[in-house]
Amino acid sequence: MTDRPERPGGGRIAHRPAGSDASGPVERSGAIGDPGGVEVYDPLGLHQPPDRSHQPLRASWDPAGPDDERQRPRPERDTKKQSALGRFVSTYGWRAYALPVLLVVTVLVVVDAVRGGPDAVSTAGGAPGFGQLSPHAASAGIIGAPPGDGHFPTDLPSGALPDGGAFTETGTAAWHVVSGTTAQVGTGSEFKFSYTVEIEDGVDTSEFGGDQSVAKMVDSTLANPKSWAHDTKFAFRRIDQGVPDFRISLASRESSRKACGFDIPIDSSCFNAGQHRVVLSEVRWVRGAIAYEGDIGSYRQYQINHEVGHAIGYHQHQPCEADGGLAPVMMQQTFGIQNNDIATLDPDGIVPMDGKRCRFNPWPYPRG
């Protein structure tokens, strides 16, 4: 028996049965390698293979058997496992770089908020300082009086009195307390001060809002977070009965000059420790100072903060520290905001003749 001839592709060619149609395909079952078990002889290419696209896929799943997928070794990755920092950067993007900057800014703001303290010569962040806090036992006599020996040049332009409203030349040298009280402002961890607001009899306050307007300016200034209560050591409370720690008193020109120790051609305010009186010159309350360029409200805040600063223990005046910066509140800004102007009044004082000029500033904590 002879073998059947081979197809060019490797399969066997089926013989046509006798009497069959020569043009039709010849089928033979049981051909080796035929998945369907049928071998087709189709010399003209008319036969199409059966469509098995809808037949189910064959897969094995044995939940009790071995997990071939998990046992299959995984290929090694080309990149290393991402670090925690890398994952953080990938998650937050540009915010990951912004957070450290924000943290530094926050720290600087906190430091600026608590800067200085009462014993600091200068405060942090470039803000002006206000000198050393003196012990209260040292509060005696007139503090904050004009510098030198009372002999001043009469042509000092920076200390001249600006033009403005009318003021009281002479009062009665008696005082009346303005009615009204306030709650405590400030923490007062070391010092709690009570004060009264008093007006000299004979001083007409109707031109600038009346007695209550004066008291309101005093209260709101001391309650401002840029004032002395910013320091947690201090607290203030206004009373109108009993004996206060000090009396904030608006005084006529003559009484101001007598209370502050010198008969001088330059009007000024001071703290008279013997009388426990913060003396606010009514002349300056009305007219202000040339350095304040007509800003009467800011000058009144300076007047209050500067003299109360003496009352709570800041006895020494300060020079302009940074040319072009804010003047320290304990600088004698009434006489000028240039060191040379003040050094002219008191050549032997602490203010150097160095040409520095500051900008006016009514606050101990101008960034408070």
Bridge-based pairing of strands 277-281 and 270-272 is: antiparallel
Element (H, E) at 102: helix 94-113
Report how far residue 331's alpha carbon sits from residue 327's, in angstroms, rounded to the nearest whole number: 7
Per-residue pLDDT tens for 21-47?
A: 444 444 444 444 444 444 444 555 555
Q: What pLDDT, on a 0 to 100 scale, did the predictor assign at position 85? A: 60
pLDDT at 325: 95
pLDDT digits (tens, 9 = 90+) for 180-197: 999 999 999 999 999 999
Judge residue 270's burial from the number of C-beta atoms within 10 Å of its C-beta, 0-12 exposed, 13-18 middle, 19 or more buried.
buried
What's the pTM? 0.66
Q: Say what percent of the chain tops pLDDT 90.
A: 50
Which structural domains are found in the chain, ordered by start?
Answer: 162-315 (3.40.390)
Is the pLDDT score of 120 beyond 60? no
Lowest pLDDT segment from 158-162, 190-194, 336-340: 158-162
Residue 277: DSSP 8-state: E
Which pLDDT value is given to residue 127?
Answer: 78
